[in-house]
Structure 1
Amino acid sequence: MQMIIVDDEAHWVDNLSMNKPWHTLGIEQVHKAYSATEALQIIDTHPIDIVISDVQMPEMTGLELIERIRVHDKRIKCIILSGHSDFEFAKKAVQHKAVDYLLKPPTDQELFGAVKTAIDQLNTEWELISSLERTQYTLRENLPLLRGQLLLDALQGQRLSADEWDRKLGNYELPFSYGECSLMLVRLEEEFGQYKNNGQPLIEYAIINMAEEILGEFMEVWGVKEEHGYLVFLLQFKGKGTDIPKETILEKLSSQLQYKVKQFLKGSISIVITEWFRFPEQLQDRFRQASAYFRQIVGDEREFVMRVHDLETPTALGPLDALYSPPSFINLLEAGHWDAAEAKLMTVFTELDDQWPESWEHCMEAGFLISASYTHLAHTNGHTLSKLLGTDMEPLQNGEAFATISKLRKWSIGALGKLKEGTSNEVKDIRSVYVKKIQEFTDRNLHLDVSLRVLADHVNLHPTHLSKIYKIETGEGISEYISRLRMERACHKLKTTAKKVYEIGMEIGYMDPAYFIKVFKRQFGVTPQEYRDGNK
Structure 2
Amino acid sequence: MQMIIVDDEAHWVDNLSMTKPWHTLGIEHVHKAYSAHEALQIIDTHPIDIVISDILMPEMTGIELIERIRIRDKRIKCIILSGHSDFEFAKKAVQHKAVDYLLKPPTDIELLGAVKAAIDQLNLEWETVSSFERTQHTLRENLPLLRGQLLLDALKGHRMSADEWSRKLDNYGLPFNYGECALMLVRMEEEFGQYRNNGQPLIEYAIINMAEEIMGEYMEVWGVKEEHGYLVFLLQFKEQGSVIGKETILEKLSSQLQYKVKQFLKGSLSIVITEWFQFPEQLSEHFRQASSYFRQIVGDEREFVMRVSNLEHNATQGPLGALYLPPTFINLLEAGRWEAAEEKLLAVCAELDEKWFGSWEHCMEAGFLISASFTHLAHRNGHTLVSLLGSDIEPLQNGDAFSSISKLRMWSLGVLSKLKEGTSNEIKDIRSLYVKKTQEFADKNLHLDVSLRVLADHVNLHPTHLSKIYKIETGEGISDYIAHLRMERACHSLKTSNKKVYEISMEIGYMDPAYFIKVFKRQFGVTPQEYRDSNK
Q: Same fold (TM over 0.5)?
A: no
Query: When the two structures are superposed, what TM-score results if normalisation uses the length of structure 1?
Result: 0.37
Query: When the two structures are superposed, what TM-score results if normalisation uses the length of structure 2?
Result: 0.37
Larger Rg: 1
Identify the structure with bigger relative contact order (alpha carbons < 8 Å, sequence gap 6+): 2
